[in-house]
Amino acid sequence: MLHHFTGEAHPYIQGALTADDLRRFLDRLGAFRILTAHAYAAAARDGSLQPGEICLTFDDALKSQIDIAAPVLAERGLTAFFFVYSQPFVAPSPVSFEVQRYFRNRHFETPEQFYPEFYDTARKAGLSAAVDRALTTEEAQSWLAEYSFYSEGDRRFRFFRDQLVTPEVYAELMIEMLAAHSVDVAALAREIWMTDEDLRTLTDAGHCVGLHSYSHPTTLGSLPPGVQEEEYRANARHLTEILGARPTVMSHPSNSYSARTLEILKDLGVTVGFRSNATMTHPSKLELPRLDHLEFSAKTGAAYAA
C-alpha cells in the first residue's frame, strides 16, 4: 500500500518516496511474485492466490502517483490498483484530509510543530477537555498502535480528530487554521489530485481503478447505513461516468467499515476489497490484507527511503 511521492513539482511530505525510493522498494520485493492488478483481482475472486503472490495498491488518486510512480511501474512492466475517492474531482473541500496533510507538511517544518498550534486553536474554541484527553491519556497514546510508522504525536492527533470531536467541529478548526495561514485551497487542490484524464490514462495502461468512497470519511464504518451507501454509490457513479465501466474493486478508507458496509459493497457488485493492515486472521474477499510500505520497511529493516 503506497500513497505519497516527491520530486519534480511535488514537494516532500511525511512518508513520501522519490522515484528511486520506489525502485529500491520494488527491488526489496524480489522474493515475492508481483501480479498484475487484474490477475490479482481474478485470483482473489476465485480463491487461487498462491503464497508469495502480491499486488501493488495506491490510495487517494494523488497527482504524484501518476507523475512519479506510474512511470516507474511502466519501466518495470507492472500494473497496480489505484483506489479513488471522488470529492476532489467534483468539488475539492477545504477540510479534505489531503489538503490538511499538505498544510501540515508545507506550512510547518514538521507535523510535530503543527500539533501545538492545532491544540491551541481547539482550546480557544472551548475544547480544552478534549485536548487534555488527547494529550494525556494512555487511550490516545495507543490509538492506531498497529501502525508502527505513526509517531506518538500522530496517534494523539488522530485520536482527537476521530474520537473526541465531530467531523463538523474538526472542519471548523481546520478552516480557521487554513484562513490564518492564508492557504489557497483551490490552488493546493490542483497540485494534490489527479484529473479525469489521468484516471483514463491509468486504465488505458492496464491499471485497475477502484472505489474508495466519495468523500473519504475517516470513520465511515460508524456512519448511518444510508450515508455509507450514498458514499459508495456516488463514488461508483463518478468513476463509471469517467471510465465507462462500474468498478468491482475497492479499498476501505482509513480501514473503517462495518458488516453493513460489506453488504452495501456486495449490492454494488464489488467483489474484491482491501483493508489497510494485515491484522485480520480470516479475511473475506472484501477484507484482503495490505501492508503499508513504511510498515514493510519496519518489518524487514529495509532502508529504501531517503
Over residues 80-135, the pLDDT tens digits come to 999 999 999 988 776 777 888 888 888 888 878 999 999 999 999 999 999 999 99
Question: What average pLDDT does the structure give for the chain?
Answer: 92
User: Is residue 44 over pLDDT 60?
Assistant: yes
Task: Cell 519534480: give the residue.
Answer: 8
- In terms of Cβ atoms closer than 10 Å to its own Cβ (0-12, 13-18, 19+), residue 43 is middle
Cell of 59: 490510495
The predicted structure's pLDDT at residue 17: 94
User: What domains are there in the chain, each with its CATH number?
Assistant: 19-92+192-300 (3.20.20.370), 108-182 (no CATH)
User: For residue range 208-245, what is the model confidence (pLDDT) as tens digits?
Assistant: 999 999 999 989 999 999 999 999 999 999 999 999 99
The predicted structure's pLDDT at residue 297: 66
The predicted structure's pLDDT at residue 300: 52
The predicted structure's pLDDT at residue 148: 78
Cβ 249 vs Cβ 270: under 8 Å: yes
